[in-house]
Structure 1
Amino acid sequence: MGQRPNVLTPEQSPQHRLGYMIRELREARGLSMRELATKLFVSHAKVQRWENGERPPKDRGEVELIDRALGAGGFLIEMWQEIGRGVSAPEHVSESAAHVSDTSLSLATVVSQAATSDGEGIFVPARLDDGTVVLVALDRRAVLRAGMGIGTAAVAGLPVPPATAVGGAEDPFGFARSVTENWSGLRLSRPVPDYGVDWQALVPGGRSMLGSQLSLQVHPARIEGGRVIVSIPDQRRAEEFLTRPNRNLLVGAVAAEGASQFYVLDGRSARGRLTKNGGVYEVTAPTAYELDDLTQGILWAVANYDDALQADDQALAETRSDLKAYERLSASAVSREAAPGLNTVAHMWLGSDFCARHILRALPDLPTLPSFWTREQRGEEASAWLIFNHKFPYLRETTKVLGSTSTRAFCIPEEVVRSSPRYERILLFLAVALMESLGIHAQFTTDPAYEAVEGFVVAPEKEAVIANWVRGDGMWHVDVTARSSTVREFTIAARDVDADSITAAPTPAGRLRALAQYLDLPWSWLIERCGQLARHGSSGLIQSRSRLVSAAGIDAACAYVGSLPADR
C-alpha cells in the first residue's frame, strides 16, 4: 500500500487532499487511526484507505460522520464534493501589485490549499481587477482554524467566507442556529485568535441590565444512565479553554430526531470533572442542565447581574459605606447622582439592599399585621429576589419577625405578560414561588391603574412604610408615615387586590398554578424541570463570581416548585 507524501501539491487529486486533511485533523485531536475507527464504527483499514487517498468516503452520510467526529465544521464535506468535479490550479500567475477583487473563495478550496506548504504561509489564487490571477499569501494556521470552524482567516481585499454562518456547514451541531432562533437577542461570533473558544456569546441586557459575555466550547455528547457524557477529543484545547479566568460554558450536543439537544456546564465545574476514556477526554453533566427556557433564564439573569456587580465591586462597597448615614433618617430619597460612577445594576443592588434593611427596621413597630406591595413586573426585576444575596435572607427574616403568614400584592397587566419572553416569565414565576415557600400569599391584579403605586408595607388604616427602588426616579425612596391620605391609599390598593386577585386559591399550589396559567407557562413542565434542577443545584450550570450574588434563592424556589403536585 503506497505512502502519501507529507506535503501535498496543487496538482494532486481532490481525494488525496481530502485524505490529507482527515489525517491532519485526526492528529491535531490526538487520535490514532484505530481510535478514530472506533468512534466511527469502521475498520482501521478503512480509515487508512481514506487518508491515503486510495478510497475516499463512499457517500455524503459517511463523510458527515467523519466531519462531525473531527470537529471539521463542514469543510470536509465541501472537500468531498470537490472529488466529483476536481480542483484546477490557476492558469496564469502574475507578480503584479494591484488591488485584489472582492471575490469570495470557497472555504473548502482555501483550506485544501493549506496543504500545499509545510511552512507557516500558504498561497491561494485571487483575481485582480484587470482579470489577472495572482497568488495571495495567507497564514496557514489561521486558514486551518477557519476551516475547522474555529476562527476566520482573512486578508485585505480578499474575503474568505467566515466560519460563523448560522445554520451553515460551519455549525455542524446546529448550535448557533438553535440558540439564535430560540433566543433572538443572543449574538454569536467566532473570535480570532480563538484561544480555545468556539463561540463568543453576547448575552442581551434589559431595561436596567447591561448585557454580558460568555465563552463557549461545543462538543458531541451522548446520554448514558441518565447522565450527559460530553466527549472532548482535544484535551489541550479543552484545558486552554477551561483555565481561562473569564466566564466560560462547556456545551454538549446530543443528536436527536430532527435536531440536537444541548446541555450546558459551567467551565469551573467542568474543570474538575475531566476524565479519560480511551483516547478521549470526557465530562459528565446532569440532564437537568439541558438548555431550554428555564436554564436560559437563569444563565441570562445570573450572567447579567453577576458580571455587572463584580465589575463595580470595590466602588460599590465604598459607596454603600458612604450612604450608611441615610439609615439614621426615617425618610430619604437618594438619586443615582449620589453614586455617579456605578453602573445601573449596582444602583439596583444598593436600592434593593437599603429598602430591605429599612423595612426590617420598621416592621417591629407596626401596630397590626401588614400587607406588602411590590412593583416587580418582569423577570428582570423579579430575578433580583432569586439572585441578590440579601433578598432571600430578607424574606425569611420578615416571616420570622411577623410570626405568621402575610400577603404580597403585584400589578402585572396583560400587556406586560405579552411583551415578556418566556424565560423572563419563568423567572417571575420562580420569584413568586420563593415567596410562597415561606408562607407569603402572593396576589395579583392586572389593572394598569395600579402600576404607579410605589412599593409599600401597610398596617391597614394605621401606618405605612414606603420602600421603593423599582422603576423609581432615584436609587430609592423610603419613608415611615401615619399620614392618613397615604395610609388610606395603600390600604385601599391592598384590599382591592386581595378581594379580586386573579390567582386566588386556598393553597400555595393553587395560587402558583393560576399564576402559571396567566403567564402562559406549562404547569407540569415547570414542576418536572424545577425538580430536576433542584436535585443537582444551579451552581454547576453557572457559578457566580460576585460576593453579592447567591444561588440560594434559585435553588430554594426550584426545590419548592419541584415538590408541588402536578395534577392539581
Structure 2
Amino acid sequence: MGQQANLLMADHSPQHRLGYMIRELREARNLSMRQLAAQLFVSHAKVQRWENGSRPPKCLGEAEQIDRALGADGLVTDLWRGIGQAASGRRRVSDSASHVSDTALGLVAAGLQTAPSNSEEIFLPARLDDGTVVLVALDRRALLRAGAGIGTAVVSGSSLPAAAVVSASQDPFGFAGMASERWSGLRLSRPVPDVGVDWQALVPGGRSMLGSQLSLQVHPARLEGERVIVSLPDQRRVEEFLARPNRSLLVGAVDTQEASRFFVLDGRGTRGRLVKSGGVYEVVAPAAYELDDLTYGVLWAVSNYDDALQADDQALAEARSGLKAYERLSASAVSREAAPGLNTVAHMWLGSDFCARHILRALPGLPKLPAFWTREQRGEEASAWLVFDHKYPYLQETTKALGSTSTRAFCIPEGVVRSSPRHERILLFLAVALMESLGIHAQFTADPSYEAVEGFVVAPDREAVIANWVRGDGMWHVDVTARSSVVRDFTTAAQEVNAHSITSAPTAAARLRSLAQYLDLPWAWLIRRCAQLARAGSSGLVRPRSRLVSAAGIDAACSYVGALPADR
C-alpha cells in the first residue's frame, strides 16, 4: 500500500490529484498517516486509500474535515468536487482568474526546500476557468531561476516577487505592482471568483493597529486639470461593487509617458454620483486624491482605527459606562483586564478618552500656566490626534481653558525616525501641525533617555497632572500630585526640552519646517499636497463608519499646513 502511495501520479486522474494533494499537505506539516487519522477519527487504512487514489473521501463533509485538519484553504474540497468531471483537453488555466493560495505557496516552498536536486518538476495548484483546481507542473530549476529566493520568501512571510503571483494580464494598469513595491506591508490578491472585485487589499496593522481589508475596482481615467474623470464601462458591475457593505475604493488609473498615476475614491462616497457621458458612465475625483504617501497614510490610519472600533462598538460602549466610577478618583491605574475582550485599538481609545477628560477636569485647579508632555513617537500613535473623535475637541477645549499659548513636548529619537515609514512620519507631522494651528508650541528632543517619561501636564515647581495611555502597561495611569520629587522631575524635563528643542523657532511655520526636515519630509511637497487635500476634503477619499472616528482633525491639519509659505 505504501508503494502505491509513493508511485501516485498527480496527472493520472482527479482522484489521484486529490490523493497527491492530501499526501503533500500532510507531509508538509510533518504528520504521519496515523497522526492524521487520529485527528480525523478515521482508520489508518482510510487515509491510505485517500492518498493512493483508490477511494476518495465519501462526502463533502469528509473532504471539508480533511481541509480543516491540513489548513488547505479549500484546495481539498475543490479537488473533491472535481472528481468525476471529465478533464477537457481544451481547458486552460485562466489568465484573468487564476489564484494560488497561501497553502499552495507553502507547498512550493516545502518542495523547493526538500526535493532532491535532480527533481525536474514541482506541482502547483491553479484554478481553471470553471473554478476547478488542477496541478500545474512547473520546472523546478526554472522556478528557482525566475523567482530567486521564493522558498525563503514564502517561509519567512516576505512579499513574493510580483511575477511569481501576478501576471501582466491580471494587472493591466500596473496598480498591484506599484502599490506592493511602494508600501511593502500592503498585500494584494485577486479573489476567485471575483464577485465584482478586482483586488482585495490587506492593509497592514502596526504595534497596536490590527490591519484592515479593502475591496478595490480599478478603471481607466483621464486627468483634466484638478479633476480626474474615471470611466466605468460596466455600470451594473460598479453599482454592485459600491453596494457592498465592506469598505471599498474605486481606483482611477491615468496612463502617462513616465508611469501610471492612480487616484482613489471612497466607495460609499461615490454612490449616486455616476454620470453617463457618451454612452459610458463616469465619476469625477479630485486630483488631490492621488495615491501617494500622504493619501496612503490617511487611508492606513482611518481604515485601521475605523474597522477596529466599529468591530467592538457595543462592547466598548458598555465598557466605558462600566468604567465611569474611576472618574470620581483623582488617581487610578487601570489594566486592560478591566475591559476584557476588547481589541487593542478599543483599549487605546478608552485610555485616550479617559486621559483627555482627566486633564480637562484637573486643568482649572493648576496654579500657573502648565507645560504638556506627550509620549507619541510614531505616526500610528500620533494619528489618534487626527482621527479619534474626542482628540481634536480636547485640543480646542484645553486651548480655550488656558486662554494663552501653551507648549507640548515630544521625545522622538533619531532611531525612531529612521525606522518609521514615510507615511507614518507624515501622520506625525500632521498631528503636530494640528496642535500648532491652535497656538500650541510643539517642542522636540531626540534624547532617548526621555522615552520613558509619562504623559503629564505640569505647573512648574507646583503641581502635576499625570495622564498616560501611550505605551503603558494598562489602559491608563492618571494622577494629580504635588509631590516635590515628581513635580521637580517633570519640571526639569519640560524646561530642558524647551531650552534645547530641535525645532526651536519663533513662528509655527518655522517650527514645522524644522520638524519636516528632521522627519526627512520635503517641505514644498507637503505644502502643495496638504493644500490640495484641504480644498477637496478627505471625506471623498476615506469616509469613517465608526461614530468614534472623525476626519475633522485631518482636514484641519491639512488646511493649516496648506496655507503656510512654501518658500524658505
Task: Classify the TM-score, shorter chain.
Answer: 0.7 to 0.9
Give the Å deviation of 1:271.
1.5
Is it true that 1:532 corresponds to 2:532 in the alignment? yes
> Following superposition of structure 1 onto structure 2, how do residues 260-275 of structure 1 map, counting pairs within 5 Å?
260-275=260-275
Q: Take 1:310 and 1:381, find their aligned partners in 2: how far apart are those partners?
A: 19
Specify the code of the residue in structure 1 equivalent to 2:135.
L
Q: How many correspondences in the alignment?
A: 444
Give the Å deviation of 1:236.
1.3
Structure 1 pair 157–194 and aligned structure 2 pair: CA distance change class (3 A): closer
Is it true that 1:136 corresponds to 2:113 in the alignment? no
The Cα offsets for residues 207-231 of structure 1, whole Å up to 9 and x where unpaired, read as 0000000000000100124210011
Give the alignment partner of residue 155 of structure 1, picking from 129, 132, 136: 132
Give the Å deviation of 1:350.
0.1
- Equivalent residue of 2:253, what SS? strand
Specify the code of the residue in structure 2 equivalent to 1:270.
T
- Equivalent residue of 2:556, what SS? helix
> Following superposition of structure 1 onto structure 2, how do residues 296-445 of structure 1 map, counting pairs within 5 Å?
296-445=296-445
The Cα offsets for residues 476-499 of structure 1, whole Å up to 9 and x where unpaired, read as 000000000000000000000000
**Is contact 1:152-1:190 (8 Å) kept?**
no
Give the Å deviation of 1:96.
6.7
**Is contact 1:297-1:423 (8 Å) kept?**
yes
**Is contact 1:152-1:163 (8 Å) kept?**
no
Alignment-derived partner of residue 223 in structure 2: 223
Give the Å deviation of 1:165.
3.2
Specify the code of the residue in structure 2 equivalent to 1:158.
L
Give TM-score, length-normalised by structure 2: 0.75
> Following superposition of structure 1 onto structure 2, how do residues 155-304 of structure 1 map, counting pairs within 5 Å?
155-159=132-136, 165-166=165-166, 168-304=168-304
Structure 1: where are the runs of 5+ without partners?
A: 1-93, 103-133
Alignment-derived partner of residue 503 in structure 1: 503
**Is contact 1:189-1:199 (8 Å) kept?**
yes
Specify the code of the residue in structure 2 equivalent to 1:319.
A
**Is contact 1:164-1:190 (8 Å) kept?**
no
Q: Take 2:485 and 2:208, find their aligned partners in 1: how far apart are those partners?
A: 32
Give the Å deviation of 1:164.
8.7
Specify the code of the residue in structure 2 equivalent to 1:494.
A
Q: Take 1:317 and 1:218, find their aligned partners in 2: how far apart are those partners?
A: 37
Structure 1 pair 319–95 and aligned structure 2 pair: CA distance change class (3 A): closer
Alignment-derived partner of residue 563 in structure 1: 563
Structure 1 pair 167–501 and aligned structure 2 pair: CA distance change class (3 A): farther
Q: Take 1:287 and 1:413, find their aligned partners in 2: how far apart are those partners?
A: 35
**Is contact 1:138-1:155 (8 Å) kept?**
no
Structure 1 pair 372–486 and aligned structure 2 pair: CA distance change class (3 A): same
Structure 1 pair 286–498 and aligned structure 2 pair: CA distance change class (3 A): same
Specify the code of the residue in structure 2 equivalent to 1:178.
M
Structure 1 pair 408–155 and aligned structure 2 pair: CA distance change class (3 A): same
Alignment-derived partner of residue 545 in structure 1: 545
Structure 1 pair 481–146 and aligned structure 2 pair: CA distance change class (3 A): same
**Is contact 1:366-1:459 (8 Å) kept?**
yes
Q: Take 1:527 and 1:264, find their aligned partners in 2: how far apart are those partners?
A: 20
Give the Å deviation of 1:155.
3.1
Alignment-derived partner of residue 482 in structure 1: 482
Structure 1 pair 280–147 and aligned structure 2 pair: CA distance change class (3 A): farther
Q: Which moved more, 1:218-227 or 1:361-370?
A: 218-227
Give the Å deviation of 1:140.
8.8
The Cα offsets for residues 358-387 of structure 1, whole Å up to 9 and x where unpaired, read as 000000010000000000000000000000
**Is contact 1:468-1:477 (8 Å) kept?**
yes
Alignment-derived partner of residue 16 in structure 2: 99
Q: Take 2:485 and 2:13, find their aligned partners in 1: how far apart are those partners?
A: 86
Structure 1 pair 96–533 and aligned structure 2 pair: CA distance change class (3 A): closer
Q: Take 1:404 and 1:307, find their aligned partners in 2: how far apart are those partners?
A: 37
Structure 1 pair 226–341 and aligned structure 2 pair: CA distance change class (3 A): same
Give TM-score, length-normalised by structure 1: 0.75
The Cα offsets for residues 30-51 of structure 1, whole Å up to 9 and x where unpaired, read as xxxxxxxxxxxxxxxxxxxxxx
Structure 2: where are the runs of 5+ without partners?
A: 1-10, 21-84, 101-125, 139-161
Give the Å deviation of 1:100.
5.3
**Is contact 1:99-1:157 (8 Å) kept?**
no
Structure 1 pair 379–95 and aligned structure 2 pair: CA distance change class (3 A): closer
Specify the code of the residue in structure 2 equivalent to 1:515.
L
The Cα offsets for residues 387-439 of structure 1, whole Å up to 9 and x where unpaired, read as 00000000000000000000000000000000000000000000000000000
Give the Å deviation of 1:148.
13
- RMSD over aligned CA atoms reads 2.6
Structure 1 pair 140–491 and aligned structure 2 pair: CA distance change class (3 A): same
Q: Take 1:99 and 1:281, find their aligned partners in 2: how far apart are those partners?
A: 49
Q: Which moved more, 1:505-514 or 1:186-195?
A: 186-195
Specify the code of the residue in structure 2 equivalent to 1:556.
A
Alignment-derived partner of residue 491 in structure 1: 491
Q: Take 1:163 and 1:222, find their aligned partners in 2: how far apart are those partners?
A: 28
Give the Å deviation of 1:173.
0.6
**Is contact 1:145-1:152 (8 Å) kept?**
no
Give the Å deviation of 1:259.
1.6
